[in-house]
Amino acid sequence: MILKQVKWLGDSRERLRDFPDDPRREAGYQLERVQAGKDPADWKSMPSVGLGAKEFRVRGGGAFRVIYIARFAEAIYVLHAFQKKASKTPKPDMELARRRFRALIRERRQS
């Protein structure tokens, strides 16, 4: 089976690496599922970030989120990874994901 490449935008890779061990391993497993063309175990669509953006949830020592877009043939783009501490996703995290999404779309249109 061929897995799609993962491309990390901004500091998303470093943020995921800062997750505690168990959530980090689970996030890696869920990303591998996405690479294989499957859905993560616990996900939702994030249209407020951009068309095709999704978020998967990881629990264990807290609530962790990874926002990504997998609709392009060449790669999965990880827009943002963070620990969620409130019931609603914090506005700065949503804005960061939106900015990265818009930058990705602009870059794709120019090339």
Residue 36, CA distances (Å) to 40, 55, 60, 61, 100 in order: 10, 17, 24, 27, 23
Confidence of residue 111 (pLDDT cuts 50, 70, 90): confident
The count of domains in the chain is 1
Phi, psi of 62, rounded to the nearest 5 degrees: 140, 180
What pLDDT does 59 receive?
92
Rounded distance between C-alpha atoms, residue 111 and residue 99, angstroms: 19
Q: What is the mean pLDDT of residues 56-84?
A: 95
CB atoms within 10 A of CB 3: 13
The boundaries of the domain holding residue 32 are 5-110
pLDDT for 61 beyond 90? no
> E strands along 1-111, which residues?
5-8, 43-45, 53-59, 63-69, 75-84
pLDDT for 1 beyond 80? no
Confidence of residue 86 (pLDDT cuts 50, 70, 90): confident
Rounded distance between C-alpha atoms, residue 70 and residue 52, angstroms: 7
Residue 66, CA distances (Å) to 23, 71, 75 in order: 11, 16, 16
User: For the domain that residue 83 is a member of, what is the CATH number?
Assistant: 3.30.2310.20
Q: What is the mean pLDDT of residues 24-52?
A: 96
Handedness of CA 29, 47, 72, 102 (dihedral sign): negative
Overall pTM surpassing 0.85 (yes/no): yes
What pLDDT does 48 receive?
95
